[in-house]
Structure 1
């Protein structure tokens, strides 16, 4: 019995919708229909729990904004990138295979990503988690179709950032080797040209006890980052169209760093009042 089949048997009782994914992997024909959910901005985040997805190039800030919204709305933030890194650090059966893929800037296969994601969703189901905010998934039409069969997605937030700022941010990413916190040492200050405003993003520096423990991700070299951005751009358009056609895509151009972008993102999501209420009760 292969690893995927063993994983499925372990979680099928709790996360039965994943049968659709397993059938697709094994070659069976798969189809799914979607009911029109109406404008995504009308859904109540305080109801059944949000089921959102963040799209965007590597380094755009999906993890940062997804984590902030996770805390604001009280739903888990699930990063497929973190799931991959956890598996890499675990010395599990996929670790060696994943190391070769990641170190060459290649995309991890649908089968591996889905096995890790289903394992995480199964864990959440046992804890009665309500909703989730995914980031880093889906990256292909096939993944988007599989995800629609596993859980109902309300909204897809597509973060956009100019490429020169993206490259600087990716090369500035750091991880605390002790606590696993994500930080960025890049100070982006791009002068505006041809009528475009200046673009400024301050670094996201660690607290003092993490400053001496920062490490660079093994895949955050200039060559690998450029290759990753090229691959993403080639593959992202169909996924964007997939969700745009279903009325679920919200495109958001980041105007700068967190101080400039966070309030405007909340406004775009109709969450300004929600943020005010949480701040008042804190």
Structure 2
């Protein structure tokens, strides 16, 4: 069972999951609903692609070689962002490895980790048109996604086990239309959303 207690401060949630599940979109929507910032590691890293950034060379080398950006760079960026003193956050983009999960625990208290899961069929169905245009054919898209899924799966189990032992892992299976998935996610998180409280910074959050 996941510990559903709600802290006095804003929630500090992490979104992880398989490639193609569009975590970023869900993070943005949860951020707006809860009135807390969405911290995207991808965005923080892309900001360092500025040639005038002190971390530029390390980031560019990792990106060009298709490798993960080094942990010291990742957590330097995250720590700097957290120094802005936000009251809660939705974080996506890390952790990708158990080591990153352990380091993250030393920096900040994580309340809940939402793990987005889906079938290969669902992933292919949800693949963006831009991927199809970029690769050129559906078989190429399928091959690319399967490769991403294989790489992700090799790293993900240790992260899932780590948070499961802490009773912080919530597995959420994506299926059906995007609207149905969103409503299902709100139900899983015990959140209530309507056009009325959409205008409020304090949506109902129940344990």
Q: Shorter-chain TM-score category?
A: 0.7 to 0.9
Q: Quote the Cα distance in structure 2 between the aligned partners of 1:256 and 1:94.
A: 41
Partner of 1:199: none
Structure 1: stretches of 5+ with no match in the other structure: 1-37, 174-184, 187-215
What do residues 131-160 of structure 1 show as CA deviations (whole Å, max 9, x unaligned)?
111101111111111111111111000001
Matching of residue 143 in structure 1 with residue 64 in structure 2: no
Matching of residue 99 in structure 1 with residue 56 in structure 2: no
Residue 224 and residue 280 in structure 1: after superposition, are their counterparts in 2 closer, same or farther (change >3 A)?
closer
Partner of 1:279: 198
Residue 142 and residue 281 in structure 1: after superposition, are their counterparts in 2 closer, same or farther (change >3 A)?
closer
- Divergent runs of 4+, >6 A: none
Structure 2: stretches of 5+ with no match in the other structure: 135-139, 202-207
Q: How many residues align?
A: 194
Equivalence map 1:6-21=2 (5 Å): none
Residue 253 and residue 39 in structure 1: after superposition, are their counterparts in 2 closer, same or farther (change >3 A)?
closer
Partner of 1:190: none
Which structure carries more relative contact order (alpha carbon 8 Å, separation 6+)? 2
Q: CA RMSD in A?
A: 2.8
Aligned residue for 1:88, secondary structure, equals coil
Partner of 1:232: 152
Check whether the contact 1:60–1:161 (CA below 8 A) recurs between aligned residues.
yes
Cα deviation for residue 268 of structure 1 reads 0.5
Matching of residue 246 in structure 1 with residue 203 in structure 2: no
Residue 92 and residue 281 in structure 1: after superposition, are their counterparts in 2 closer, same or farther (change >3 A)?
closer
Residue 140 and residue 84 in structure 1: after superposition, are their counterparts in 2 closer, same or farther (change >3 A)?
same
Decide which of 113, 120, 125 is 2:81's aligned counterpart. 120
Aligned residue for 1:55, secondary structure, equals strand
